[in-house]
Each structure stands twice: as C-alpha cells, then as structure tokens.
Amino acid sequence: MKTRIPVFLSLLLLGFMVTVGWGQEVTIAEWNFEDSGKRQYDLPYFADQGTSWNFLNASINVTGALFTAWVTGSGSSGFAPNSNTWQDGFDSKYWIINLNTEGFGDLKLSSKQYGSSTGPRDFKVQWSTDEVIWNDVSNSIITVATNWTSGVLNEINLPSDLNNQSTIFLRWIVTSTTSVNGGTIGSSGTNRIDDILITGISTGPPTQAAAPTFNPPGGTYYQPINVVLSTTTPNGVIYYTDDGSDPDDQSTLYTEPIPLSSTTTLRAITYADELDPSSISTAVYTFPTINDVANVAALRQGARDGTVYRLTGEAFLTFQQSFRNQKYVQDNTAGILIDDDPRVITTTYQREDGITGLIGTLTEFGNMLQFNPVVDPGPATSSGNTVIPLELTVAQFNANFETYEARLVKLLNVSFTATGTFANGQVYGISDGQDAANFRCTFFDVDYIGTAIPQIVLHLIGLPNSRSDGDYITARDLNDFETPSDIAIDAGQSRLPQVFALHQNYPNPFNPATAISYSLGGPLSGQLSAISNVDLSIYNLLGQKVVTLVSERQPAGHYTVQWDASGMVSGVYLYKLQTDNGFSQTRKLVLMK
C-alpha cells in the first residue's frame, strides 16, 4: 500500500518557490528571459521559474529560423530572443518549448510576440506528447504586429491530453507567408517571443517518484563537465545509463557526479518505496569536435559553417568596447575581431593583455570576419605587452586590406580632407597626397568623439574594419593621432607634396602647446626649386612678432613643429608661413589658459 502524503507539500518535495496545496493554481514553467547568466549563451534557454524539473530541464528553442541576439526595448517588459530567416516558413518554422506537467491539470498558456515589418505575421500554437504528431490548440490564432500588445495569448486553455505528462511540447508555428506589413516575409524580417507562462492546478499527492534532473542540463559543451543527478522524492534512488538505453533498477546506481568529455546521452530513473518508478529523464550532452589552429592567420582561413576552432597560441588585446562586448586581438601573423554579443567572455582584460585558448566559431558580417566565442578563456596569460602597429602607406592599406583587417596599423603622412568635429558613425576622407582612404568613427564612447578633426599631416594609428558599404580605419583614442615633429620624406618625388600649404594647428584652442603643420611643394608643384627659404613665425593681433619657429632652408616635404606657449598670455594669435618663392599664408590660433 502506498504511503499517504499530507494535503500540503513543502518546497523540498515539489520544487516550487512557494508552498502549495492541492487544487491551487501554480506556475509550472515560465520564461521571461531576465537571467543574465543564461543569456550568455544562444538558445536553448531553460525556464526561469517553475517546478524543480522544469526549472532545470524545460527549455525553449527555435526551429527553421535563426536566433540572432538577446534584445530589449520596443515596448517589451525586458529581454527577449530575437530571430530572423523566417521566409518560406509556412508550416515549418516555429518556436518550441518542452516541459513536464506531472501532478497537474487544468493547464493554461500565456505568451506574447513582436515582429518587424517584414517578419512573419501569422502564428498558431500546436501541442504534442511525442514531437511527431501535432495538434492545434483551440483559440491560439496569433496576429503579430510591431508591438507587444497584438500578438498576445492570455491564459488560453490547453487540452486535457497534456495533463499529468512526463513531457509535452508546445510550438508557435508560422501559418502563412504574409509579413507584418502585409507583404511577403523577408529573410531579414524578425520575430521575438516573451513572457511564456504555463500554469496548472495541482491534482493530489504523488503516486509516482519524481523524475531525476541533470545539472548542468543537456546541451553543447566545449570543456569536460561533471553531471549531478538529483530527485525531489525523499529517499529516492537514481539509476542511469550512458548509452541511450532505458534504465531500470538493474542499471548503474548513481552515487557521485558523472564526468563527461565526449558526446553522451544520459537517461535516468528514480525508485522509491511505496511509489511507482518515475518517468525516464533524458539529457543529451554534445561535445563538438574542436579544431586547433596555431595562430590568428590560420584561424582567419577557417570555415564559416559553425566549425569550432581553438586558438592554441597567445593573442594580444589591442582594443575593446562594451558594444556587443567586442574585442580586437592579434598575434604576429594577423588580427581578428571578437564579436561577443551574448557576453560569453566574462573575464576582465586590459589592453595588450595576452589571451590563450580562445574557442569559438567564425562568421562574417558586413564583409568583416568575426570570431564568436563559445566559452570564456579565463584570466589573461600575460600583461604589459607592447603591440607595435604595422607602418603602411595608404596604397598598401587599400591594396591588401584583408591582410591587415583587425590588425593594428599606422598610416604614414596622412591628413584629413574634412573639417569640423568627429561624430559617431561618420566617415571622413584621409589622404597622403597620392592615395585616399576612409576613416570611420566606428567605436562608441572613445575620447575623440566631439573633438576637432586634425588639420595637420600626421601618422594615423588604428584598426582596419569593414562594413557592407566599404573598408575603413578607426582610431582607438586621441593617442592614435600621432603628430611627429618632423614627418619623414620618401626619396621618390611621387611622395612629395604638390602644393605649398599652411595647415590649421591642432589642437585649437590649446593650452599650452599645439602642433603646426605645413607643406613645401616639390618640382611637381611647378616650382623651379625643391628647396626653399622658410620662415614660420607667431604674431600678436598688433602685428608684432612674438616668436620665430622656423627660419632656414628646407627641402620639399611635409613638416610639423610644436609651439609651447607656456610663457604667453591667453588670446588670439596669428601664425604666418613665408618662402622665398613668394608663397605666404596666415592662420589664426587661440591660446586658452
């Protein structure tokens, strides 16, 4: 005879967050996607609340479409999974959840969905107990809009066939090819789902042992793990198999965590006195093949098909930003962008730290190769390193962009062709007098945003990065705008400036020092001589000379000199460049103490 169980069960027995009595409505499983730890990974995502079994094992995934990111905003109550590639998804693409309803009846379902204008508009909910035969849930027709209020299900009744089941499946499946805006679903059209809630009424004391749970749950892993089995049934005994076969009380007795390092299917069952054996729990642990590569250049040659790579050598961090948790790393062979929107990497690094053992996959977005990590590589393996940028001409940068992409470079003797101030996302032309390229403010919250665009010849340090609209270089901070006192000149005349010019000082206003650049034209400028008598002086507004910075013969080329005005009073000054061939130009500068 089975032991009689009291009318009220505690948290320990049923695994709820509160004590419940028979006939009380409770949360069986809920997904609100607010657990930042779970959002470190792509789908599947395990339930945020519910019975103990569901909390550890019930999950949501997407079939046919592609998970893209965890997103917030657009009127949602918090984070939600975002997905695209729903085109041609009629009756074949869907969101799907699995859960356990043992001990519960009178089930109800709530959810809400959001779509972009070209995302799928029409859905319905279907149920199954075997993931083979699917049936429609009554009153579950969903019409999605670009808000969170249209595509809502509110406590709709689920069929009694789903009561007291060890495993049930629910899916939100596309029912037409129509998009939210009334057109046809596009490949970039998106759909989101949020606040999934299944409630039920507890039906009485258990007659069956509670099914075992697995921790960590089944999924994809890239490093060895130890799996702990547990049951909420007091004095329950667990037996398991690791070959996919059904366990019974003659199978392996669970006594300690199970070490796993290769793909394995665990199945487990609970036995307890006076109770029927539990249903069988199953968890599949997948350990993908990891392909080792020795350096970043070899990594960049990898496939973009989901193949997992491990960089065995050390890579050095050259830049990082909070946006998508992005990091640029390189070794002495190449560089690569780490795009980590799920925040898989939680270790804190400093610029030029060494990182060893990066594991992940390769994708390409906007013509930019990206490395998507799947595990946190852990603490830095070295620090205080010095990464020296490769020195390039603009012509070399343009001709071999893929070679230099994501690797720290220095473009020599360049100047900006635009004036004004730097702004996020904007593009500015640069030139070395012979070839042109584009500088883009790709990085957010860097210190030069809002500052004046330099009007001098300089060496520009930065990271080559690409978008669908072109190739760019982006500086990491103000220190990457290098203003040497005398920029070297190549022997070839094709590198010489073709005009005489006095450039705007930088910075301006300044305190106490500023850089003044000028160009002396060579034979290609039409001058008879490539050597000039040069005078560069500073004047006050009364026309009185206050200092001479240059007074000598100089060959054609680009020059930059520094003026330290520590001993001068604040105000507006003039600086004037004169040469013996008749060139003269004057500009203003402002000393602001």
Q: What is the pLDDT of residues 126-164, one digit of tens each?
A: 999 988 899 999 999 999 999 999 999 999 999 999 998
* Whether residue 30 sits in one domain with residue 104: yes
- For 191-195, 230-234, 291-295, which range has the lowest pLDDT when averaged over its residues? 230-234
Does 487 reside within a domain? no
Cα 109 to Cα 28, 32, 61, 62, 366: the distances in Å are 10, 14, 17, 18, 40
Cα–Cα–Cα angle for 111, 67, 100, nearest 5°?
45
Strand 94-99 to 80-84 pairing: unpaired
* The pLDDT value given to residue 78: 86
* The pLDDT value given to residue 18: 35
Q: Which segments within 122-244 are labelled E, that is strand?
A: 122-128, 135-136, 142-143, 151-157, 168-174, 191-202, 213-215, 219-220, 225-230, 237-241
- For 133-137, 169-173, 487-491, which range has the lowest pLDDT when averaged over its residues? 487-491
Cα 586 to Cα 556, 576, 583: the distances in Å are 19, 4, 11
* The pLDDT value given to residue 581: 82
pLDDT at 488 over 70: no
Distance CA 86, CA 125 (A): 16
* Whether residue 167 sits in one domain with residue 30: yes
Domain count, the chain: 5
What's the pLDDT band for 497 if we cut at 50, 70, 90?
low
Does 208 reside within a domain? no
Which tens digits make up the pLDDT trace of 346-371?
A: 999 999 999 999 999 999 998 999 99
Does 1 reside within a domain? no
Distance CA 174, CA 177 (A): 8
Which single residue is written with the structure tokens 């019930």? 58
In angstroms, how far is CA 493 from the centroid of its own chain?
46
Pure H helices in 369-497: 394-399, 401-404
Q: For the domain that residue 554 is a member of, what is the CATH number? A: 2.60.40.1930
* The pLDDT value given to residue 12: 34
Cα 533 to Cα 54, 491, 538, 550, 559: the distances in Å are 84, 20, 17, 10, 14
pLDDT at 3 over 70: no
What's the pLDDT band for 205 if we cut at 50, 70, 90?
confident
* Whether residue 196 sits in one domain with residue 133: yes
pLDDT at 524 over 70: no
* Whether residue 60 sits in one domain with residue 188: yes
Q: For the domain that residue 325 is a member of, what is the CATH number? A: 2.40.50.140
Distance CA 55, CA 31 (A): 10
In angstroms, how far is CA 111 from the centroid of its own chain?
27
Distance CA 262, CA 225 (A): 10
pLDDT at 275 over 90: yes
* The pLDDT value given to residue 256: 97
* Whether residue 349 sits in one domain with residue 258: no
Interval 580-584 mean pLDDT: 87
* Whether residue 537 sits in one domain with residue 429: no
* Whether residue 98 sits in one domain with residue 136: yes
Distance CA 248, CA 5 (A): 25
pLDDT at 65 over 50: yes
Q: For the domain that residue 110 is a member of, what is the CATH number? A: 2.60.120.260
Distance CA 305, CA 295 (A): 20
Does 105 reside within a domain? yes
Which single residue is written with the structure tokens 């199945």? 267
* Whether residue 298 sits in one domain with residue 240: no
pLDDT at 96 over 80: yes
pLDDT at 314 over 50: yes
Domain boundary among 316, 338, 373: 373
* The pLDDT value given to residue 74: 64
Average confidence score pLDDT of the chain: 89
* Cβ contacts of 513 within 8 Å, gap of 6 or more: 562, 563, 564, 565, 566
Interval 304-325 mean pLDDT: 95
Residue among 130, 166, 168 at smallest CA distance from 281: 166
Does 429 reside within a domain? yes
pLDDT at 529 over 60: no
Does 382 reside within a domain? no
pLDDT at 416 over 60: yes
Q: Does the reported pTM lie above 0.95?
A: no
Radius of gyration of the chain from Cα atoms?
Answer: 33
* Whether residue 539 sits in one domain with residue 456: no
Does 253 reside within a domain? yes
412 contacts 495 by C-beta, under 8 angstroms: no
* The pLDDT value given to residue 456: 83
Strand 335-338 to 368-373 pairing: parallel
Domain boundary among 231, 255, 286: 286
Looking at residue 274, the DSSP 8-state letter turns out to be: T
Distance CA 321, CA 87 (A): 34
Does 380 reside within a domain? no
* Whether residue 309 sits in one domain with residue 255: no
Strand 49-50 to 25-31 pairing: antiparallel
138 contacts 182 by C-beta, under 8 angstroms: no
Distance CA 55, CA 26 (A): 14
* The pLDDT value given to residue 432: 84
Q: How many CB atoms lie within 10 A of CB 54?
A: 24
237 contacts 266 by C-beta, under 8 angstroms: no
* Whether residue 192 sits in one domain with residue 70: yes
Looking at residue 418, the DSSP 8-state letter turns out to be: -
Range of the structural domain that residue 545 is part of = 497-591
Domain boundary among 286, 308, 340: 286
* Whether residue 163 sits in one domain with residue 71: yes
Strand 25-31 to 191-202 pairing: antiparallel
